[in-house]
Structure 1
Amino acid sequence: MLTVGAIVLGVADVPRAVRFWQEALGYRTHGTGFGGAATILVPVDGTGTPIALQRNETPPQDHPRIHLDLHVADLAAMHAETDRLVSLGASRVDWDSYPADPDFVVLADPDGNRFCVVDLGHVPI
């Protein structure tokens, strides 16, 4: 049986990515990489999906097929978390594919990897 072991992000600057994602998610560095190939970040309480940060010089995709969705409870939390993430080094993405009534904001981490902050309490208009 297969399970998802980690989400892997390609990054050019591993120490910078470690700082950003630790602050963004409250994760800690795992003692060793899985197979030694990456720096692994894990939730402090042990629940949740690990993130592996692997050195990669390939530029990130503008419209990635796979990305992270970070969930929040409501619109106020979405705005607060977006502002917090930007203060940590994320950038707002001028996303050309927003629907008319979006329930998410597209950001990029300091390496340009796209991710979304999603309002789970969104009620479509």
Structure 2
Amino acid sequence: MVSVVQNVAIDCTNAYELARFWSEVTGHPLHPDDRPGDDETLVMLPEGPVLHFNQVPEGKTVKNRIHLCLRPDSTREAEVDRLLALGATFVADHRKPDGTGWAVLADPEGNEFCVLRSAAERAAT
């Protein structure tokens, strides 16, 4: 017997607004039934588990123990710029002079995530 990952749950203070941010990040829609003020919302990814946003009363207080890693279809640098324009904040720089590494950003509620090099950037080195 095995278990299948159904969703990745993200606790937050405003489920609908944070789901809208991640919908823009991924380019995939919210569940069609989701509305502002909903306690739970979903971003419908085409492959793998959905992103499930669950409204909780407490705010984030420590670093995430689990986080998302994003591999852009553009360059890493262009994606970092795009995500910052959407409302992400820059947390840490783990990019190296040889082009490897990643950037750590946080969503509008402070949940950290990584931006990796694109497949094309990886193939070029």
TM interval, shorter chain, is 0.7 to 0.9
Go from structure 1 to structure 2 and tell me whether the alpha carbon gap of 1:99 and 1:20 turns closer, same or farther (over 3 Å shift): closer
SS of 2:75's equivalent in the other structure is helix
Residue in structure 2 matched with residue 87 of structure 1 by the alignment = 85
Residue in structure 1 matched with residue 7 of structure 2 by the alignment = 6
Contact 1:42 1:50 survives alignment (8 Å):
yes
SS of 1:92's equivalent in the other structure is strand
Contact 1:61 1:113 survives alignment (8 Å):
no
Contact 1:42 1:48 survives alignment (8 Å):
no
Contact 1:103 1:122 survives alignment (8 Å):
no
Residue in structure 1 matched with residue 50 of structure 2 by the alignment = 50
Residue in structure 2 matched with residue 40 of structure 1 by the alignment = 42
2:113 to 89, 92, 115: 115
Residue in structure 2 matched with residue 23 of structure 1 by the alignment = 24
SS of 1:28's equivalent in the other structure is coil
For structure 2, the residue ranges without an aligned partner over 5 or more in a row are: none
Contact 1:40 1:53 survives alignment (8 Å):
yes
- Structure 2: distance between partners of 1:122 and 1:58: 39
Instruction: Give me the CA root mean square deviation.
Output: 2.8
For structure 1, the residue ranges without an aligned partner over 5 or more in a row are: none
SS of 2:43's equivalent in the other structure is strand
- Structure 2: distance between partners of 1:62 and 1:99: 23
SS of 1:27's equivalent in the other structure is coil
Q: Percent identity?
A: 28
Q: How many residues align?
A: 116
